[in-house]
Amino acid sequence: MFRHLQVAALAAVATLAVSAATFAQAQTTRLDQIESRGTLRVGMTGDYRPFTFLDKKTGKFEGFDVDMANALGKAMGVKVEFVKTSWPTFTKDFVADKFDIATGGVSITLARQKVGFFSTPIMREGKTPIAHCGDVSKYATIADIDRLGVRVIVNPGGTNDRFAHAHFTHAKVEVYKDNVTIFDQIAEGKADVMVTDASEARFQQKLHKGVLCSIHPDHPFNFAEKGIWIQRDEALRLFVNQWLHIMRETGGYKAIYAKYFN
């Protein structure tokens, strides 16, 4: 009888030990994992200037969100590993857990919210046209653009693609795969107009000074915000949001913003 009690007691202790270990494991957050690993994995496309650009010669990423990610990694006390993805495979790679966060001009959408958290918005904007400076008056409204004979160019897989196919049924919509050189197509007369985020339109106007002009970027066609897409971990989300708050209050965000947008 005593031996049976001993066995039962040992079994109970073992069960408690397993339960405690399981509970401890369950309490380990992604933020803990990042700190333990010593690396923050950041997914980005590398083709959306000024937010992210992959220099094929050096193999290094550069841009507004690259600087922001490096600042976040420094605040965490870990190294930053940039993981190349693409707009068509963006959500698939996120769900496959190829990175801890995704950034690089990422628009906040309800579809993306279903599979991950978003930080507090980094930037508020919307879709606006960009065309030859001499054609600004031709493409002021969606109706102006959505006419037979108008050549709209768009990069595949992202919110630009979805906006164009949702709003332009009469204009010819061409999907152009290289988002780095897509604006050169307009500059060279191979396309008439592109509708993209106001921030990108402003930046491309700066790069193609006197040739391309953003059209009413202060009054975009729709409402949109950009943020950091975060894997579903509350501790990581809270850390990122607090870091963003500190960056804004101490001038860190303003300094990085000025580098690329002023």
Going residue by residue through the chain, which has 262 residues, state the pLDDT in tens, using 9 for 90 and above: 545 545 444 444 444 444 444 444 558 999 999 999 999 999 999 999 999 999 999 999 999 999 999 999 999 999 999 999 999 999 999 999 999 999 999 999 999 999 999 999 999 999 999 999 999 999 999 999 999 999 999 999 889 999 999 999 999 999 999 988 999 999 999 999 999 999 999 999 999 999 999 999 999 999 999 999 999 999 999 999 999 999 999 999 999 999 988 7
In this structure, is residue 14 part of a structural domain?
no
- How far is Cα 168 from Cα 170, in angstroms, rounded to an integer? 6
Residues 42 and 89 in one domain: yes
- Which pLDDT value is given to residue 3? 53
Amino acid at 262: N
The answer to whether position 13 is within a domain reads no
Same domain, yes or no: 78 and 150: no
Pairing type for strands 60-62 and 52-55 reads antiparallel
Residues 6+ apart with CB under 8 A from 46: 52, 53, 54, 61, 82, 84, 104
Whether residues 169 and 232 share a domain: the answer is no
Ranges assigned E (strand) in 91-192: 101-102, 117-118, 123-125, 127-132, 151-154, 172-175
pLDDT at 262: 75
Residue 37 lies inside a defined structural domain of this protein: yes
In a domain, 21, yes or no: no
Q: Residue 180 has what pLDDT?
A: 86
Check residue 8 and give its pLDDT: 47
Q: Distance from CA of residue 30 to its chain's centroid?
A: 19
Dihedral pair phi/psi, residue 114, rounded to 5°:
-65, -25
Distance CA(179)–CA(6), nearest Å, equals 70
User: In this structure, is residue 19 part of a structural domain?
Assistant: no
The domain total for the chain is 2
- Is 115 found in the same domain as 34? yes
135 and 188: one domain? Answer: yes
182 and 155 Cβ atoms separated by less than 8 Å: yes
- Measured CA to CA, the distance from residue 197 to residue 69 in angstroms comes to 21
- Under a CB-based contact definition with an 8 Å cutoff, are residues 199 and 125 in contact? yes
Q: Is the peptide bond before 220 cis (omega within 30 degrees of 0)?
A: no
Q: In CATH, what number is assigned to the domain containing residue 36? A: 3.40.190.10
**Would residue 57 count as lying in a domain?**
yes
Residue 71, pLDDT score: 98
**Containing structural domain, residue 67:** 30-122+227-261
